[in-house]
Amino acid sequence: MRIAQVAPLFESIPPKLYGGIERIVYWLTEEMIARGHEVTLFATADSQTTAQLVPICPRGLRLEQELGVDKAGFHYVMLEQVLKRADEFDIAHFHCDYWHLPYLRSINISAITTMHSRLDYKPLSNIYESHPDFNAISISNAQRKPIPWLNWQANIYHGLPERQFALDDGSGKYLLFLGRICPEKRPDRAIEIAKQAKIPLKIAAKVDPADTQYYAQEIKPLLNNEYIEYIGEINDAEKQEVIGKALALIHPVEFPEPFGIAMIEAMACGTPVVGFRTGSIPEVVDEGITGFVVDNIPEAVKAIDKVASLSRKQVREVFEKRFTASRMAEDYLNVYERLMAREKNSNMRSMVEDSLAIS
């Protein structure tokens, strides 16, 4: 199968540091190639892949923010490239939100779009109402709730390679907050949970330029505590040690998070998750098996007391069953094949109808 993977351009594939969508695109691309498919990746020039790379801009646009780079412009250049080369592919798989929707009507091949972001902003509903018929993939059932009427084709949970991380023992006896420091991720909750539980907390997270004021005013003053250690943004090579030695991952978000890759990274290391009941979290965390889903800080503190009773080996086994890149790729291939068969049948019907009309 000839597959086009069309990535957002904010980070390289894979990302150098933070970048959830870009990791998924990388793992999916490499898994498809390992299965013998021909993949073309539209991404930044510094991306590392075994696919045929179509470079669009020198490096991730997040790294170019200080230069005032026009992010929309580069994405439109990329979409023009996809359009020009569409006849080289059997299917095009888009990962760039709604940028490409006006182009889909000009592409005469099957196409799907994975919706990676939250969909509860009203302006997004207006955009998708103008393009209601594109083939959409959700990454959790919770993600669909704001726009259930979209042309959903499947719900496919994210996955990462089985060998990306290994089962570890949690011997560090600390809690971990992993990802990004911003208001919706609620690192302040993680800090309060650690203080009340009297267990050290490591914060491995980046601070985007948009969140520097929040960090300076709301989070930095909380770091002056014997239980709290801010270690900054970490790369994939560092994650095994940091995640694997943690007693538990604290995932205290308060927005309808569509998925949450940090949770399955933790599970891959055998590290249980304590997450707040919002968005995808009740779908991802198996209560009492891979962690606990809580509604408030006191419940989270009580859950911390119970995580040591969970089997880290079983946490890892659930990851292997539910959240691998292999399973994710298989799910996407099933959708690709179904859409291509539907497209073929539609074309055949059109040919027959045209033939009958002529006769």
More confident residue, 107 or 271: 271
Examine the domain organization and report whether 96 and 136 are in the same domain: yes
Examine the domain organization and report whether 22 and 129 are in the same domain: yes
Examine the domain organization and report whether 53 and 196 are in the same domain: no
Q: Provide the pLDDT confidence category of residue 352 given band limits of 50, 70 and 90.
A: very low
Determine, yes or no, domain membership for 168.
Answer: no
What average pLDDT does the segment 93-107 reach? 89
State how far Cα 148 lies from the chain centre: 20
pLDDT in tens, 185-227: 999 999 999 999 999 999 999 998 889 999 999 999 999 888 8
**Residue 226, domain extent:** 174-320
What average pLDDT does the segment 235-246 reach? 93
Determine, yes or no, domain membership for 169.
Answer: no
Query: Helix (H, G, I), strand (E, B), or coil: what is residue 267?
Result: helix
Q: Which pLDDT does position 134 carry in this prediction?
A: 93
Residues forming beta bridges with residue 201, ordered by sequence position: 175, 228
Examine the domain organization and report whether 123 and 99 are in the same domain: yes
Answer yes or no: is pLDDT of 359 > 60: no
Count other Cβ atoms within 10 Å, centred on residue 224: 7
Examine the domain organization and report whether 329 and 308 are in the same domain: no
Determine, yes or no, domain membership for 307.
Answer: yes
Examine the domain organization and report whether 34 and 106 are in the same domain: yes
Q: What is the CATH number for 111?
A: 3.40.50.2000
Structural contact between residues 65 and 29, judged by C-beta atoms closer than 8 angstroms: no
Give the pair of three-digit tokens for residue 165.
């991380």
What is the number of domains present in the chain? 2
Q: Provide the pLDDT confidence category of residue 65 given band limits of 50, 70 and 90.
A: low
Examine the domain organization and report whether 333 and 256 are in the same domain: no
Examine the domain organization and report whether 227 and 340 are in the same domain: no
Name residues whose C-beta falls within 8 Å of residue 328's C-beta, 6 or more positions apart in sequence. 24, 27, 28, 31, 156, 157, 158, 159
